[in-house]
Structure 1
Amino acid sequence: MRFALGALLWVSLSVAAAEAPLRFVVSDSWAMPMVQMERGRPTQGILHDIMLSLATQVGMPAQFHILPRARVQNAMDHGEVDVRCYVSQSWLPNLSGDYIWSVPLLVQRDLLIGRRGSSVSVNPADLPQQSIGTVRGYSYPTLQPLFDANQLHRDDARNQEQVLEKLLAGRYRYAVSNQWTLDWFNQRLLPEQQLQSVALVHEQSVGCYVRDDPKVPVQRILRTLLKMKMSGEIDDIIRLYTGNPAANL
């Protein structure tokens, strides 16, 4: 009887372990083509598909936690989530040794955007004092000296799509956007309405990092991400949403 109870307990624990989710943090500032939010949960997009495929290949159900950007790292530190993606090591220079980074997976290209008819090329340092569209909580290292000097002022919106909507409505003359979001946003506009890039602001590699916890299959996650990158799967996901794998490293 004691053996039977022990066997039953082992089976129960094994089932519970098999059903433990891989918990991803999703910033509420993301927009398509990175993530589409519907009824408070992500349903599609480049990052959604990458994270879902990762969890499937690791053999764990994916669980998404949508949080304001300012709360993301706190959730990682308190063990509420396991994996954070679409982040650069340069954004977190003082991150503790409790996390392990993946290989670089994508390239984020931040652009200065203007409305149709803007100058074809603009040097941000030459702009007169004005506000530009930015995302709340986002860091713009190359523009920060201009913010510090009060030459440019941040006009923050909750996410990247709202920034571009405000630019289109004429709330400011210029805004910062990543290339993918700009291309996605322009798809719904007539050619004469489409927003245009006037300067490359910053370009950097981004990847994922994983909480180094015995309960999390860290090395399996990192090996799977490497395989997804080397096999071309990640570029295929990007191509699905953008038409080209514009994230080659």
Structure 2
Amino acid sequence: MDRQAYTDWIKRAGVALICITTTLAVAAAPPLVVLVDTGTEMPMAGFQDGRLVEGFHKDLGLALADKLGRDASFLPLPRKRIAMAMESGQADLICLYLPPWLPGKFNWTRGFFPVSEVVVTDTSVPQPRSLRDLSGQPVATVLGYYYPELEDALGKDFVRDDGHSSSGNLRKMAAGRLHHAITQQSTLDYYLKVGEKLSLYSPLVVKNYKAQCAVSPQGQVAVSEVNKAIEQLIKDGSVSKIISNYQSRLK
């Protein structure tokens, strides 16, 4: 073998070794374990036989895992077990959350997923023009959820009527048992498409915000990596597409 042939062989062998090493590294990457609150409803999350089968949480988890070069593994848990699972590293992250909802020493990504929280009122009672108009009136809320805007606006006159889910609260409204409920706009839109008919005023916006992901310090992925993946999802339009896919289903 002459010198040039030997040099070419070394180069080809080096390239092959790099390819093999890269392939093994990708294959060996652990899955991205994504926590999902089992109390979450469509379009955020849909469950079947205890498995996450559809919704924003699934689509977003798959998209993030893809950008991170991993498979996604979803871990549905009740809300009361989420903090412990995150603290122990049983899961890598949970998305579509805000820091006040999950106290603990977690690393938080940038806000990126638009959410609108609204109060809806049926047309059998006067329409509230501001949160103060709800003073002393029962508002359907979800057990365990925190509503700082209503608490700040109403103080002791914020009357909670806790239910287990937003859809259950909207069913109470349909049955005439309650006249006001706080929910997410996306949940309301989905319910109005698939649930009982409701005669409602235009929703009163409580707040618009961008939800984040909490990343476990004991997990297999760094918050900087997740932020980079989120940035890619924003730039390539994936976040908007995830939302629009469900909006188009409701038309």
Q: TM-score w.r.t. structure 1 length?
A: 0.79
Aligned to 1:6: none
The reply on whether 1:238 has 2:222 as its aligned counterpart is no
User: Please, what is the CA RMSD of the aligned residues?
Assistant: 2.7
Paired amino acid for 1:200: V
**CA–CA separation in structure 2 for the residues paired with 1:214 and 1:129:** 45
Higher share of residues assigned helix: 2
> Offset of 1:202 from its aligned partner?
2.2
> Offset of 1:214 from its aligned partner?
7.0
How many pairs does the alignment contain?
A: 227
With over 3 angstroms needed to count, the CA separation of the structure-2 counterparts of 1:106 and 1:196, relative to structure 1, is farther
Cα offsets for 1:168-216 (capped at 9, x unmatched)? 22221101011111111111368x6344444212222211121234733
8 Å contact from structure 1 (residues 119, 198) kept in 2: no
Residue 65 of structure 1 aligns to a residue whose secondary structure is strand
Deviates more, 1:109-118 or 1:211-220: 211-220
**CA–CA separation in structure 2 for the residues paired with 1:18 and 1:133:** 47
Q: 1:133 aligns with which of 132, 135, 140?
A: 140
Structure 1, unaligned runs of 5 or more: 1-10, 245-249
8 Å contact from structure 2 (residues 65, 71) kept in 1: yes
Deviates more, 1:152-161 or 1:122-131: 122-131
8 Å contact from structure 1 (residues 135, 159) kept in 2: yes
The reply on whether 1:155 has 2:164 as its aligned counterpart is no
Report matched runs for 1:1-249 at 5 Å.
Answer: 18=28, 20-91=30-101, 95-96=104-105, 99-145=106-152, 148-149=155-156, 151-188=157-194, 193-213=198-218, 215-216=220-221, 218-243=223-248
8 Å contact from structure 2 (residues 92, 220) kept in 1: no
With over 3 angstroms needed to count, the CA separation of the structure-2 counterparts of 1:214 and 1:146, relative to structure 1, is closer
**CA–CA separation in structure 1 for the residues paired with 2:247 and 2:124:** 24
Q: TM-score w.r.t. structure 2 length?
A: 0.79
8 Å contact from structure 1 (residues 108, 206) kept in 2: yes
With over 3 angstroms needed to count, the CA separation of the structure-2 counterparts of 1:217 and 1:141, relative to structure 1, is closer
Structure 2, unaligned runs of 5 or more: 1-20
**CA–CA separation in structure 1 for the residues paired with 2:182 and 2:159:** 12
8 Å contact from structure 1 (residues 147, 154) kept in 2: no
Larger radius of gyration: 2
**CA–CA separation in structure 2 for the residues paired with 1:217 and 1:204:** 24
